[in-house]
């Protein structure tokens, strides 16, 4: 059960008070970790650290990026991002993690997934033990030491709202002074009733198309009813497509309304209109949190109705403009929801290439999905360009591309992809069956662009290995902070600032690492089985997310006619029922198991991958563990890189030659060392490496207001209770590790 707003606020206050994470009041700044208090306030010193704009793209892998040398035959147009890349550095060898939440977590904590158990996208069943802990030093907490004020706009997906005492207040708990967006992160399903106008399934894109696209259900005119901030419902009559080609239905949806087709406005809105129904990238449960004051915006509020990328950028522009004259350094994170599924038509005016003209009203058609992905990427880029211009970070250009001069600004811009691209929309020659949700190159190789006034020789490429964890340390370096001294737990970051300041900087990483898997749930539970074509996955967090990603749900509540038996818990059980249904043809009918543990490590030329999953064993009528190790020669050549495709596994061929064998041995040693570096420490709920009075105090602070899941739920039963306190007492005085 979710806490009430009061309980969430109390929990947030108590946990923040108990937290050992270092934070500093902007009114009374503390040293930067090295005794140096320069750059704290502009009115006290001649200079201050730069402002920071962090842009996170959702499900945009490097395969989409023409400016990196890829993009396939029809790359999406990204003139704003291209302008920033031309004014900065393209890091062409960057790894994130295979999925949304871990990809964002490593960026904002500087720590690999094994440190905080965030291995896949956080869902409603994942315990607080697989969310960013209130004791972590996040980027906004770190930057408070240099006087920064921080805000985030858009997708959060780092902690809560489920199984967390803070609920929707988790952004404030983790250090953000202002948040406006979606804590759960994932857009809802497309409303195929278009706001209650037709039966479910009538409008696969969530709006009424024109009659040219759908002669049966389309409409070229209608009454657009729209909720206003004061609670009134207003109406405007629409006729014909607009200049950009949007139908009246899409125009109305973009404006936050619901179109009643072929009707004129009435004094009272029709009772059938479903204002409380989510609609993917257009109607979402917005959360606003300013300095700990939480507002959960209802779906009837116009602030949460409209195209998400536009809402995200509008909020960022307002906040940045308010802070630009303060003299206090700021960091704004624009965490785009695009281009995460469900793929949804953006307003055509945001797509400079005209790709929207090729979209159909069938959002489930594979070809249309690829066009939708391109259109959403272009729309995101257009909104980013608007943000740059309206905040003065760029000048308007003669066309779609803003005029950007990094040297004339006081801001560093960082653009980052949270994970690889969703398989059905991957650009060739990248591998669509080894994409997002895997540790293969297409799943973890992401774009990273950094631009700012301190960049030496802008417009260049850096081919050295970078990991998302390294960007965390860069933020601290930009602020002049001694990062290791301010983070009382193990960091995985390597310095990045030298790459900005020296064009000939040698590589600072010897190895790169990525991993994914299953998050922690009550009593070892997992997300239900979802089958994509011939592969079963535990990645989708629910039935609706499975189906939004073109999968067939075999878990609780399965209702697809192709499912032999629903209400299954594990993917291996899918093969069990397939075998029992037709044992003679099992080998032809069986489903491939998607990996539930996937890890990768690489050096300059080679990559080692370890995958494992449970499958069905007919001999025992139970599960059997599959462990697979693969080894590849890879590179970043453009436009055709050497990828870790199935046909290139070096362990499938002849005996390795001595040089290749040496690389294999070194990578084996490195991955073993990384995996062994996180020591299990029962009773240590704040991850400081020891079990002491602080853990007892933290436990009591939590249980004074909350009894559900927390970082002190050591036995993973979804409760923080006396059994967990006993684990602290049994291990009191233990020192597991020191930094």
Which pLDDT belongs to residue 612?
98
Residue 337's nearest CA partner among 401, 416, 281, 270 is 281
Check if the beta carbon of residue 49 is closer than 8 Å to that of residue 478.
Answer: yes
DSSP assignment letter at 184: S
pLDDT in tens, 643-675: 999 999 999 988 999 999 999 999 999 999 999
Check if the beta carbon of residue 347 is closer than 8 Å to that of residue 357.
Answer: no
Instruction: Report in angstroms the alpha-carbon separations of 78 from 53, 82, 378, 406.
Output: 18, 6, 6, 18
> Does 736 have pLDDT greater than 70?
yes
Q: What is the pTM of this model?
A: 0.92
Average pLDDT value for residue range 409-417: 96
pLDDT band of residue 9 (cuts 50, 70, 90) is: very low
Residue showing tokens 């550095």: 89
Which pLDDT belongs to residue 5?
38
> Does 275 have pLDDT greater than 60?
yes
Check if the beta carbon of residue 2 is closer than 8 Å to that of residue 168.
Answer: no
Instruction: Report in angstroms the alpha-carbon separations of 522 from 44, 88, 163, 170.
Output: 52, 46, 10, 21
> Does 366 have pLDDT greater than 90?
no
| R_g of the chain computed on alpha carbons | 25
pLDDT in tens, 111-131: 999 999 999 999 999 999 999
Ramachandran sector of residue 33 (left: φ over 0; alpha: ψ -120 to 50; beta: rest): left
pLDDT in tens, 178-229: 999 999 888 999 999 999 999 999 999 999 999 999 999 999 999 999 999 9
Percentage above 70 pLDDT, the chain: 94
- Tokens at residue 438, please? 């895997």
Check if the beta carbon of residue 32 is closer than 8 Å to that of residue 481.
Answer: yes
Average pLDDT value for residue range 155-165: 96
User: Cα separation of 196 and 253, whole Å?
Assistant: 13
> Does 44 have pLDDT greater than 80?
no
Higher pLDDT, 739 or 36: 739
User: Cα separation of 286 and 643, whole Å?
Assistant: 40
pLDDT in tens, 65-110: 999 999 999 999 999 999 999 999 999 999 999 999 999 999 999 9
Average pLDDT value for residue range 327-354: 95
Average pLDDT value for residue range 263-283: 96
> Does 19 have pLDDT greater than 80?
no
Check if the beta carbon of residue 490 is closer than 8 Å to that of residue 510.
Answer: no
pLDDT in tens, 529-540: 999 989 999 999
Check if the beta carbon of residue 381 is closer than 8 Å to that of residue 374.
Answer: no
pLDDT band of residue 47 (cuts 50, 70, 90) is: confident
pLDDT in tens, 346-358: 999 999 898 988 8
- Tokens at residue 568, please? 């299954």
Cβ count near 290 (within 10 Å)? 15
> Does 437 have pLDDT greater than 70?
yes
Which pLDDT belongs to residue 2?
37
Domain boundaries, the chain: 5-188+281-499+511-515, 190-277, 527-593, 683-739
Which pLDDT belongs to residue 34?
43
Q: Is domain 5-188+281-499+511-515 given the CATH code 3.40.720.10 in the classification? A: yes
Which pLDDT belongs to residue 10?
35
For the four alpha carbons of 183, 184, 187 and 188, in that order, the dihedral sign comes to negative
> Does 16 have pLDDT greater than 50?
no
Rounded to 5°, angle at Cα 185 from 610 and 479? 80
pLDDT in tens, 558-587: 999 989 988 999 999 999 999 999 999 999
pLDDT band of residue 739 (cuts 50, 70, 90) is: low
pLDDT in tens, 166-190: 999 999 999 999 999 999 888 999 9
Rounded to 5°, angle at Cα 126 from 530 and 431? 45
Spell out the residues 6+ positions from residue 422 whose beta carbon is closer than 8 angstroms to its own.
Answer: 59, 339, 340, 341, 373, 435, 436, 549
Q: Can the peptide bond before residue 100 be classed as cis, meaning omega within 30 degrees of 0? A: no
User: Cα separation of 640 and 210, whole Å?
Assistant: 41
> Does 42 have pLDDT greater than 80?
no
């Amino acid at each position: 059960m979710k806490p009430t707003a009061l309980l969430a606020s109390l929990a947030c206050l108590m946990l923040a008070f108990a937290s050992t994470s270092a934070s500093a009041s902007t009114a009374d700044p503390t040293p930067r970790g090295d005794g140096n208090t320069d750059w704290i306030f502009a009115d006290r010193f001649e200079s201050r650290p730069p402002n920071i704009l962090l842009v996170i793209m959702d499900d945009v892998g490097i395969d989409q990026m023409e400016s990196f040398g890829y993009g396939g035959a029809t790359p999406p147009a990204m003139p704003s991002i291209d302008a920033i890349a031309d004014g900065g550095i393209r890091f062409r060898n960057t790894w994130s993690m295979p999925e949304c939440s871990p990809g964002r977590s490593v960026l904002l904590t500087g720590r690999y997934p094994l440190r905080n158990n965030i291995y896949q996208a956080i869902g409603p069943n994942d315990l607080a033990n697989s969310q960013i802990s209130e004791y972590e030093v996040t980027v906004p907490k770190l930057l408070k030491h240099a006087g920064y004020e921080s805000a985030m706009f858009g997708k959060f997906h780092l902690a809560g709202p489920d199984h967390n005492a803070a609920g929707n207040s988790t952004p404030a708990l983790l250090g953000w002074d202002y948040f406006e967006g979606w804590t759960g992160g994932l857009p809802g399903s497309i409303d195929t009733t278009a706001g209650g106008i037709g039966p479910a399934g009538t409008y696969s894109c969530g709006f009424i198309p024109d009659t040219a696209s759908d002669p049966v259900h389309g409409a070229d005119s209608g009454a657009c009813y729209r909720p206003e901030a004061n609670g009134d419902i207003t109406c405007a009559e629409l006729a014909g497509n607009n200049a950009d080609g949007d139908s009246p239905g899409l125009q109305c949806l973009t404006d936050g309304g619901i179109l009643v087709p072929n009707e004129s406005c009435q004094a009272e809105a029709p009772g059938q209109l479903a204002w409380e129904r989510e609609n993917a990238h257009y109607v979402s449960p917005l959360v606003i949190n300013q300095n700990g004051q939480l507002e959960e915006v209802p779906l009837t509020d116009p602030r949460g109705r409209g195209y998400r990328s536009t809402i995200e950028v509008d909020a960022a522009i307002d906040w940045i403009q308010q802070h630009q004259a303060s003299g206090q350094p700021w960091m704004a994170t624009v965490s785009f929801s695009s281009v995460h599924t469900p793929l949804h038509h953006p307003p055509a005016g945001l797509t400079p290439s005209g790709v929207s003209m090729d979209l159909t009203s069938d959002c489930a058609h594979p070809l249309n999905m690829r066009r939708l992905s391109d259109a959403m990427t272009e729309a995101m880029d257009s909104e980013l360009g608007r943000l740059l211009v309206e905040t003065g970070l760029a000048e308007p250009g003669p066309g779609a591309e803003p005029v950007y001069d990094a040297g004339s600004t006081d801001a560093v811009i960082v653009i980052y992809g949270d994970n690889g691209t969703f398989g059905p929309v991957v650009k060739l020659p990248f591998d669509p069956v080894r994409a997002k949700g895997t540790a293969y190159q297409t799943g973890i190789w992401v774009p990273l662009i950094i631009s700012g006034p301190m960049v030496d020789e802008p417009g260049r490429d850096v081919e050295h290995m970078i990991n998302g964890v390294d960007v965390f340390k860069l933020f601290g370096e930009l602020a002049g902070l001694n990062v290791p001294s301010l983070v009382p737990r193990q960091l995985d970051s390597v310095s990045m600032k030298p790459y900005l300041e020296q064009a000939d900087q040698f590589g600072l990483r010897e190895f790169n690492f990525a991993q994914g898997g299953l998050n922690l749930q009550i009593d070892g539970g997992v997300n239900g089985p979802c089958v994509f074509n011939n592969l079963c996955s535990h990645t989708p967090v629910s039935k609706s997310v499975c189906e939004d990603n073109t999968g067939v749900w075999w878990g609780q509540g399965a209702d697809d006619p192709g499912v032999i038996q629903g209400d299954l818990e594990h993917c291996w059980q899918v093969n069990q029922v397939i075998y029992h249904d037709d044992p003679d043809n099992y080998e032809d009918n069986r489903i491939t198991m998607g990996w539930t543990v996937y890890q990768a490590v690489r050096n300059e030329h080679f990559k080692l991958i370890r995958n494992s999953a449970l499958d069905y064993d007919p001999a025992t009528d139970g599960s059997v563990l599959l462990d697979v190790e693969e080894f590849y020669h890879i590179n970043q050549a453009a436009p055709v890189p050497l990828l870790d495709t199935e046909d290139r596994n070096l362990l499938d061929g002849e005996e390795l030659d001595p040089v290749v064998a040496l690389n294999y041995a070194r990578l084996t040693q490195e991955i073993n060392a990384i995996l062994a570096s996180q020591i299990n420490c029962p009773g240590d709920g704040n991850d400081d490496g020891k079990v002491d009075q602080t853990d007892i105090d933290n436990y009591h602070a939590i249980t004074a207001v909350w009894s559900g899941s927390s970082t002190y739920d050591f036995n993973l039963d979804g409760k923080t209770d006396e059994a967990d306190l006993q684990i602290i007492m049994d291990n009191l005085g233990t020192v597991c590790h020191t930094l």
